[in-house]
Structures are given as C-alpha cells and as structure tokens.
Amino acid sequence: MYWCRMHVLVCTANHCTQNGAQQVAARLRLELKRAGLDGEIMVNTCDSIDLCDIGPNIVVYPQGWIYRNVQVSDLPELIESLRTGDRPVERLLLRPDSEDEARRRSLYREAVEQEPLSVEAFAALAERYGFDEAWVAEQARRGFIARKPGEDGDRITVTSKARHRYGLEGAG
C-alpha cells in the first residue's frame, strides 16, 4: 500500500545480495505480513546506497534510520522496532559517528595523507584499524581504492568515490 506509515528499503544490489539481502527482504515481507503490519509498513528493494562493505543494508523512512549488516536472525528485533517506529535497533544502526564508521573514516583520512601507498602498507594500515584482507579486497571491488603499477611495485590510491563517501574531498 502506498499510503503507509513507514517505508523500508532493502538494498539488493550486488554486494548486499552476496551477503543475503534477498533472503532478508523476502523474510521481512513475510514476517510483517504475519505480524499484520504489511498494510502500514511498505518494503521495497533498492539499488546500492554505497555502503557495500557493511551490507545487507536497510533504510527506514521517515525516520531515516540506516541499518547495516542485517541478517535474517535480526528481523524479530527489527520488526518490534518498526511496530512502534519510535526507537531504532541501536546495535544495527549506522550513524556518522558510529564506532566502525569512524574507524573507516580515520583509515581513509590517513591513507589519503600517505598515498600512494604500497599494497602492503595499505593492508597494514587497514589491519591497524581492525580491517582484514577481505575488507581490503571489497574496497577495491567497490571502487574505493585503485591499484596501479608503480616503479617499485603496485601502489594504492584512494578514489574520489571514497573521498566523497568519507568527506575527504579537500584532504591529502
């Protein structure tokens, strides 16, 4: 129903789908129907919201809540929150000052200041901020870092996409 109380968007673009977003969306619709909430809470899938490394991601309107890394097992708690709409599920909520978001921003700020970094130096920097090899690979896949040949081996630079995401356009 279009004239709903809340609107939930589940990103089902590539990266989120690889981490189970389709199952989350389908189960969310089913459970909202079972809870009798489907008439007032509309669920739609959407394209990337550019938080690809922390998906599956969900946005809730009109509150503007952004949930990251949502799993099917999180849905009972999520649905309870949607029932009233007055309190988000804090542990899933992403804010500009969320601990993980702040770590990513600090890492990228440091990378911009030091670039171009060797592949090993970027990996070491990421590790210092608590991110592993898989996370680094995801950054490359989503176009947040670029790897180019240098005189003494490949070099990593931070792309404009990542600078925009973390508000680092003037940095470096």
In the complex, which residues of this chain contact ligand FES (CB under 6 A)?
11, 13-16, 48-52, 55, 57
Q: Which is nearer to ligand FES, 20 or 85 (CB)?
A: 20
| Closest CB 114 distance from ligand FES, rounded Å | 26
Q: Which residues pair with 150 in a beta bridge?
A: 153
Q: Which is nearer to ligand FES, 94 or 117 (CB)?
A: 94
Q: Which is nearer to ligand FES, 1 or 134 (CB)?
A: 134
Alpha-carbon distance 112 to 101, whole Å?
A: 17
Q: Which is nearer to ligand FES, 105 or 155 (CB)?
A: 105
Which residue type, as a one-letter code, is found at position 125? L
Q: Angle, nearest 10°, between helix axes 21-34 and 75-84?
A: 50
| Closest CB 154 distance from ligand FES, rounded Å | 25
Burial category of 73 from C-beta neighbours within 10 Å (exposed 0-12, middle 13-18, buried 19 and up):
exposed
| Closest CB 165 distance from ligand FES, rounded Å | 11
Please provide residue 66's backbone torsions phi and psi, each rounded to the nearest 5 degrees: -115, 125
Q: Which is nearer to ligand FES, 31 or 50 (CB)?
A: 50
| Closest CB 66 distance from ligand FES, rounded Å | 10
Instruction: Say what the alpha-carbon torsion angle 130, 110, 52, 44 is, to the nearest 10 degrees.
Output: 110
According to DSSP, residue 164 is labeled H
Alpha-carbon distance 103 to 99, whole Å?
A: 6
| Closest CB 54 distance from ligand FES, rounded Å | 8
Residue 64: both structure tokens together: 């503007």
